[in-house]
Amino acid sequence: MVTNQPAGLYYKGPETTALAGYYCIESINSSNGYSIQLNALLSNGLWIQDVYVLAPYYSEPFYEPAVLGYKSFLYAPPGTGFINAPCAWLVMTINDGYAYFGYSLDGRNIVWYDSYPVDNAVIKPGPSTKLVLAGYGHGAQAVLGNGTTLVYLALYYWNGTGWEPAPVSVFSIYSYTGRYTFTAETVNNAYVFTSGSCGGVVSWPSPVNNTMCPTPMFKP
């Protein structure tokens, strides 16, 4: 069980140029909105986010990107229009000096909705690179109540020619050593389980220990 921190997985694989994070929200009971965040620390020190957000003041969720430098936002534009996608993919890739932010609703086709120049950076492993359930933004907390929350997560990395199931561990603030690449958003409490390869699940109020790992069919 984790409390007052993001709930999900962090990436333990090799350096890569692309990540694909699958999420499937079977149910969620939060009184203050939520987000599914795919976050990545780059080799040049930038930290990028591709986020599926349900803010408490909106009735529908949307996707939005963000790029952070040292302790500050460098790029945080308005996101997409409202898209209700309880099961989908968050995708980030680096090509020709740009980080591209996208999503896939079917696992076969990607909608690239934004980009940002990052030079020749690559994505680094470690606790700053993760796929998590958290608050909607601005340091908010997803408050999981007595109703059932069940969110499946799966993470893949690009090996240069194809997708590989990512080695993952449960994210913990106690293993985190960075200063500004920490997700400020949290959940009040949740159980997190991972198989260690690709799959994980976030649940409340009961622990769940089964995972799912669908394979992406798109190319970054």
Alpha-carbon Rg for the chain, nearest whole angstrom, is 15
What percentage of the chain carries pLDDT values higher than 70? 95
Give the tens place of pLDDT for each residue, 194-208.
999 999 999 999 999
pLDDT value at residue 175:
61
Lowest mean pLDDT among 10-24, 136-150, 166-180, 196-210: 166-180
pLDDT digits (tens, 9 = 90+) for 54-103: 999 999 999 999 998 876 889 999 899 999 999 999 999 999 999 999 99
- Partners of 144 in the beta sheet? 30
Tell me how far apart the alpha carbons of residues 145 and 205 are, in angstroms, rounded to a whole number.
Answer: 8
Domains of the chain, first to last: 2-204 (2.60.120)
CA 17 to chain CA centroid, Å, is: 16
DSSP state of 167: B
Over the stretch 103-112, which tens digit does the pLDDT of each residue have? 999 999 999 9
pLDDT of residue 131: 98
Of 152, 113, 148, nearest in space to 132 by CA: 152
Q: Is the pLDDT of residue 14 over 90?
A: yes
pLDDT average, residue stretch 185-191: 97
Residue 83 has what pLDDT? 97
What are 217's two structure tokens? Answer: 């069919």
pLDDT at 176: 58
Residues 123-163: pLDDT tens digits?
999 999 999 999 999 999 999 999 999 999 999 999 999 99
The CA distance from 207 to 204, in Å, is 7
pLDDT for residue 179 is more than 60: no
The number of beta carbons lying within 10 Å of the beta carbon of residue 44 is 12
Containing 39, the helix (H) or strand (E) segment is strand 34-42
Beta-carbon neighbour count of residue 103 at 10 Å?
20
Lookup result for tokens 């993001």 = 6
pLDDT at 177 over 60: no
The model's pLDDT over 32-61, given as tens digits with 9 standing for 90+, comes to 999 999 999 999 999 999 999 999 999 999
Backbone angles phi, psi at 183, to 5 degrees: -65, 115
